[in-house]
Structure 1
Amino acid sequence: MKRKFTAWMTLFMVVVLSFGSIVHAEGEKKTVILGTSADYAPYEFHKTIDGVDTIVGFDIDIAKEIAKDLGAELIIKDTSFDALLPELTSGRVDFVISGMNPTEERRKSIDFSEPYYAAEQSVVVRKEDALKFNTLESLEGARIGVQKSSIQESIAKTIPKANVVSLDKIPDLLLQLESERVDVVLAEYPIAKTNMDEATMAITDAKPTAENDSYAIGVRKGNEELLSSINATLERLKENNQIQKFVDEASDLAAGRTTENLNTFEFFWKYRDYYAKGIQFTLLISALGVFFGFILGLIIALMRMSGVKILKFLATAYIEIIRGTPMLVQLFIIHYSLAAFDIKFSPIQSGILTLSINSAAYLAEIFRAGIQGVDRGQLEAARSLGMTRGKAMRHIILPQALKGVLPAIGNEFVVIIKESSIVSFIGVYDIMYQAQILRGSTFAPLNPLLVAAMIYFILTFVLSKLLGVWERKLSASDNR
């Protein structure tokens, strides 16, 4: 038992160190990491260029100029908009450009460059409501959709009696508008013009304004050297009128995108390479999460059933804390909060660690129930024959316990595959991440999600059938 435990832990360390070595190897290059939320055309968005998914936009063009002046290679990290500040403050990115307003609240946690662009706000409605919401006064009491943590959210909260709906992605907001879950969507004019379906939506004459509608680049507090370099680059670009040129080029590039009328299966086949890449990451994270969760769960179960009070207390506390908190919160704590103590995991490492820790708490209780379900007399009989407690547990109790709780274990494995989708929040290129990319780049609100759901169903269905075969094989001896 000890030898196997050592082998498992050695394998775990090999995997962790291999991931760490990759990160370290990347860190040896002179690089600068940009954090952005690439769903905001023409600022930053995904587009397939020469068969390769590429993040483009005028914010990205500015970031490339900053990297060039720094003499560094630009690495782009795409994540959700409301995760940009944690990414920056935790040191996972060096600066953020994502149509971000330098509000006073944000200035408390990060520093901003000089403004580089001023935005014009707009109100998007369904075409039949264009006259109904054509003034700011008409928005009173309306259901207003805005992007989470944006300047539009601040504007919407000043409108009397407004019901504000905040979401991460612009395509999600437009889908809410199309399905009549909100009455209007507040967005910048170029964003609205690029993303909306002009056949069913319109921009009204209402013109929302904000005290601070300019955009700036965010850097960590105290990083004066980088901030000075960014300001110098922005000054050079403004003097040459280069930023407006970037805006025009990005707008033309975004306007070149068209809505495709494909059914779900045609959509999957056309964009199968995206989903194939997502499946690889989902299977990797799920498999390692299940493997280490199984080992850790068994250890926790044995600790809770041991006669050592401190071990029992620690195991019980672990189970209650993990089961009593959302997995998404656990993921953010591991990925962002630990960085404050200079403990930094890559997104893949954070995903595997979170799934393992979370799954272990549930599997520990499943294992405990299985072990307690075995007649205690068998352990006593084994001890009376001269077997040690560890050997009796390994050869007699655990095989019967695992056999009895196999359906529950299989169910937990299925849950892990589905719950692995949360790693898309921290930038892992899993199935859900690829689906969100396609939603923004193809204007298809539902097909990317339907394909993702279909893939998750196939993965979990196949796993359930394989576990069923294994369960029947283990039960064959009971029928003789």
Structure 2
Amino acid sequence: MKALKPWLACTLSMLMLFFMIVPLASASEGSGKKIIVGLSADFAPYEFRKNIDGEDQIVGSDVEIAKRIAADMGAQLEIQDIPFDSLLPALDSGRIDMIISGMTPTAERRKNVDFSDSYYISRQVIMTRAEDKDKYATLDSLKGVSIGVQKGSIQEGIAKDIEGAKLTSVDRISDIVLQLQSGRVDAAVMEGPVAEGQVANSSDLAITAATIPDSDTEMAIAVEKGNTELLSQINGTLAELKKTDEVSKFVQDATALNSDEQKASSNIFNIFWDYRHYYAKGVQYTLLLSALGVLFGFVIGLIVALMRLSNVGILRWIAMTYIEILRGTPMLVQLLIIHYGIAQTFHIEFSVLQSGIITLSINSSAYLAEIFRAGIQGVDRGQSEAARSLGMSYGATLRHIIIPQAVKSVLPAIGNEFIVIIKESSIVSFIGVADLMFQAQAVRSITYSALNPLLIAAAIYFVMTFVLSKLLGILERRWSVSDRR
């Protein structure tokens, strides 16, 4: 029992932190009128990340439009960087107020959201490797070719119309570039200014002479269906911007700002050193998520394991159902349900950090419950019978005899679950948690280096898990000293 007291004290402290301090911090940030804009910050020159005066900032023409809208509304602007194909779910669940991310107002999208007046018209181009520029100089040459596109984008629809094209849909522009550079796709359909930015920063890429007929597409701002008041305010601002053609100036300025970015060294060590503060911040979030996920998972899993071993049928059924559902569904689905589904259905909005912690906790608890069940059942039944014969209650027997031995015996499995959670925590970057994987993606967008930032992240993950496994080995050996006496 003595060994468990530090666990319980730490757990109670973390629970207080999670349910009291974190919500209060969120509330303090929400004072005053605020407009929340969702975008995917890997779409230069419309929205992209840039290190300005040592500070990571999201800039671009769409950001300037968002600033003008917020100013006209007298509201504080908050920008959320979200993968492009998650923007519409975020808007539908009420987590953001509008989407300004070079989005095209298609008929399919209009079924779910309302769009503002168009504010810019862009052209679509074909980008490929420099040596293949002449090979894919016509649209007919792309028939049957593998093409990379951003998932959920208008470019995906354009590529589908190319006869025999084999599509590879990915989340980010940097992923398309990596697919192209590694030879997994032969070409990519991309916005003209976006492709120009990639070519300017990567000598091995080029824009072909192939023209896509009727490919000029409008850009508009998406808002929640039926939000006519906000839509009217947005259209009013856009009308003023159109009078002076300021949107075109925003695009030109953002293009110049993007081109002004110093070309990143291809040396992986230089990238790590120049952007070490990105990775340091990501490590902090990753360790926080993993520690709280396993800590809360430990408590929940132990409770579920005891329910699973209970003599009460309904408790056993609840525990088994809980375990089977969580082990039988992908963590990504669980994350999306908690972050978007609960917000949309019950109007309970967790922050991205809270959603990540909850998802990791309940997912981890399902596996830990089975680990604890095996540990408890592995304790010799004779010890329980001896304790009961001495007059100890069932609860006291569990607390003082069974659970301490069970935890000691399954410590390697608990440590392994911690290591798994550290690696799987990268999934929370999908909803915008600034963990290690999210920061690696940000560095990819800034440096135009598709692979090296990921290799750095992989090395950091390895160091964290390796060190943790060694520390757990030391703890296991210390706890097993008494067993050898």
Query: TM (normalized to structure 2)?
Result: 0.96
Give the aligned residue type for 1:478. Answer: D
The answer to whether 1:138 aligns with 2:133 is: no
Residue 478 to residue 54, structure 1, CA distance change in 2 (3 Å): same
CA contact (8 A) 2:147 2:185 kept: yes
Decide which of 87, 94, 118 is 2:121's aligned counterpart.
118
- Residue 477 of structure 1 corresponds to 482
Other structure's SS at 1:111 match: strand
Q: What does the per-residue CA deviation read over 1:265-291, in whole Å, with 9 as the maximum and x for residues that have no partner?
A: 222121111111111111111111111
Match of 2:169 among 166, 170, 180: 166
State the match for 1:226 in structure 2: 230
Specify whether residues 247 and 231 from structure 1 end up closer, same or farther in structure 2 by C-alpha distance, changes over 3 A only. same
Query: Runs of 4+ in structure 1 displaced over 4 angstroms?
Result: 3-11
1:298 aligns with 2:305: no
- Partner SS state of residue 336, structure 1: helix
Is the 8 Å Cα contact of residues 219 and 227 (structure 1) preserved in structure 2? yes
Aligned counterpart, 2:433: 428
Q: How far apart are the structure 1 equivalents of 2:189 and 2:383?
A: 68
1:104 corresponds in structure 2 to: 107
Q: Is the 8 A contact 1:46 1:437 kept in 2?
A: yes
The CA distance in 1 between the partners of 2:14 and 2:445, in whole Å, is 39
Contact 2:115–2:222 (CA under 8 A) maintained in structure 1: yes
> What code does the residue aligned with 1:281 have?
Y
CA shift, 1:262, in A, is 4.2
Superposition pairs of residues 116-265 of structure 1, within 5 angstroms: 116-196=119-199, 197-210=201-214, 213-265=217-269
CA RMSD of aligned residues (A): 1.7
Q: Deviations over 1:188-243 (max 9, x none)?
A: 11100101355222111111245671110000011111100000000000001111
CA contact (8 A) 1:33 1:94 kept: yes
Q: Secondary structure at the match of 2:410?
A: helix
Aligned pair in 2 of structure 1 residues 6, 297: CA closer, same or farther (>3 Å)? Answer: same
CA contact (8 A) 1:101 1:212 kept: no
| Inter-CA distance 251–11: structure 2 relative to 1 (3 Å threshold) | closer
Q: Deviations over 1:96-154 (max 9, x none)?
A: 10010111111111110001111111001112222221111111100011111111100
SS at 2:136's partner residue? coil
Q: Aligned partners of 2:8 and 2:446: how far apart in 1?
A: 47
Q: How many residue pairs get matched?
A: 480
Counterpart selection for 1:468 from 473, 479, 482: 473
On the 8 A contact 1:102/1:212 being kept in 2, the answer is no
Equivalents in 2 of 1:283, 1:140: separation in Å? Answer: 47
User: Counterpart of 2:354?
Assistant: 349
Instruction: Give the Cα separation in 1 of the matches to 2:196 and 2:451.
Output: 20
Q: 2 CA distance for matches of 1:388 and 1:224?
A: 64
Q: Which runs of 5+ in 1 are unaligned?
A: none
Q: Percent identity among equivalent residues?
A: 58
Report the Cα distance in structure 2 between the residues aligned to 1:283 and 1:229, rounded to whole angstroms.
42
Quick one: structure 1 residues 76 and 164, their matched pair in 2 at CA, closer, same or farther if it must change by over 3 Å? same
Deviation at 1:6, TM superposition (A): 10
Moved more, 8-17 or 258-267: 8-17
| Secondary structure of 2:148 counterpart | strand
Match of 1:27 in 2: 30
Q: Secondary structure at 2:391's aligned position in 1?
A: coil
How many Å apart are 1:9 and its aligned residue? 5.7
Among 345, 351, 362, the alignment partner of 2:367 is 362
> Counterpart amino acid of 1:18?
I
Structure 2 Cα separation of the partners of residues 321 and 9 of structure 1: 27
The residue that corresponds to 1:456 in the other structure is 461
Alpha-carbon distance change, 6 to 284 in structure 1, aligned in 2, over 3 angstroms: closer
User: Do structure 1's residue 55 and structure 2's residue 78 form an aligned pair?
Assistant: no
Tell me the equivalent position of 2:80: 77
Q: Secondary structure at the match of 2:210?
A: coil
- Structure 2 equivalent of residue 270 of structure 1: 274
